[in-house]
Structure 1
Amino acid sequence: MPHIDYYFTTLSPFTYLAGTELETIAERHGADITYRPVDIMALFERTGGTPPAQRHPSRQEYRAQEILRLSKKRGMDMHLKPAHWPTNPAPSAYAIIAAQKAGGGDVGALTFSFLRACWAEERDIAEDEVVRDCLEKAGFDPGLADRGLLTGAEIYAANLEDAVASGAFGAPFYIVDSGQRFWGHDRLEDLDLHLAGKL
């Protein structure tokens, strides 16, 4: 059974715009996924990336155009500058880590719920009420928001180290146990072809 390590942040517009295609691809090929939320700013710093706000204006303008084009193309609601962005991604990351450990719900749906809450619904994914709501809607005990915070923090930090060691440098980033790496929402087709043995 193929395995995919999925590195992402709940603050990434491109991770949001990737939708739930990863889960569809994984199901098609019988692959399992480990969801690994990371501190994206720390990952940029460790791997030579530049945070969006520090990029040249021409790069920022192009990024904005690309995000809006892609959202229209995919029919997804998108606020280019959501009311609560940036915010602290740690509470949502810890909830995803705790949910994955606990089981019983849909981690993919939970992850996308946080992304949609940020980019489409303009909710603050650092707020306890939002975290609990996303957990419950994805089939998890909302009380997970209060449990395992220390473990969540430890795994969140470990995910960053694993990302750097594995060659990830942005989000979304998909690493297959074959050693093949795929960066970005626009490489999901290549991931699909790779798992099919065609690439």
Structure 2
Amino acid sequence: MTQIDYYFATLSPYCYLGGTRLEEVAAKHGAQINYKPFDLIQGFGRTGGTPPKDRHPSRIAYRAQELPRQAKKLGLPFNINPAHWPTNGAPAAYAFISAQTAGGGDLGLLAHLITRAVWAEDKDIAEDSVIRSCLSAAGFTPELADSGLLAGAETYARNLEDAVEAGAFGAPFYVIGEQRFWGQDRIDDIDLYLQGKL
């Protein structure tokens, strides 16, 4: 079975824009997704990137135009200035990792709901009530928000190391064997690659 390592960040607008299209492509090809939430800001520091707030004004201005354009193209609601960004994305990542371990729900939907809470619903994903709501809506028990925090923190840190080693320098980032794909706008390329056309 083909394995897709999916490096994502709970605060990334581009992960939100990915929606659940990766899951659709994986299901089409019988591939398995290995979800790897990681600290993107630390990842930038490790791989030569620059956090959004520290970027050149021209890049900040472009991002402010490009994100709403992409959201409109995809038919997704989007707020370029969410009320709770940046915030601490780690608690939501830890809860995601607990859900991953527990099983029983839809991880792809959970990842989307967490990022949607930030970029379309003006919710703070550092808050327990928001995390619990996302867990419940994705078919997981909301109590996972408070379980496995130490294991979640350890996995979250390990995922960062895995990301750096795999060559992931942004999010969303997808790795299939030796092939790397960066950005939600490369999901169609993943589909073509799995068809043997790329």
Same fold (TM over 0.5): yes
1:142-161 equivalence runs, <5 A: 142-161=142-161
Deviations 1:37-73 (A, max 9, x none): 1101100000000111111101110111000111111
Aligned-residue offset at 1:122 = 0.5
Deviations 1:73-117 (A, max 9, x none): 111110101001100000110111111111000000111000111
**What 5-or-longer segments of structure 1 have no aligned partner?**
none
Q: Counterpart of 1:83 in 2: which secondary structure?
A: coil
* 1:186 matched to 2:147: no
User: Could you tell me which residue of structure 2 aligns to residue 65 of structure 1?
Assistant: 65
Q: Counterpart of 1:36 in 2: which secondary structure?
A: strand
Q: Counterpart of 2:84 in 1: which secondary structure?
A: coil
Cα distance in 1 between the residues matched to 2:4 and 2:94 = 20
TM-score (norm 1): 0.98
User: Could you tell me which residue of structure 1 aligns to residue 2 of structure 2?
Assistant: 2
Aligned-residue offset at 1:18 = 1.1
1:64-83 equivalence runs, <5 A: 64-83=64-83
Identity %: 63
User: Could you tell me which residue of structure 2 aligns to residue 111 of structure 1?
Assistant: 111
Give the counterpart letter for 2:5 in structure 1.
Answer: D
User: Could you tell me which residue of structure 1 aligns to residue 197 of structure 2?
Assistant: 198
RMSD: 0.6
TM-score (norm 2): 0.99
Give the counterpart letter for 1:30 in structure 2.
Answer: G
Give the counterpart letter for 2:94 in structure 1.
Answer: Y
Aligned-residue offset at 1:155 = 0.1
Cα distance in 2 between the residues matched to 1:195 and 1:101 = 27
**What 5-or-longer segments of structure 2 have no aligned partner?**
none
Cα distance in 2 between the residues matched to 1:195 and 1:137 = 30
* 1:162 matched to 2:162: yes
Q: Give the total of aligned pairs.
A: 198
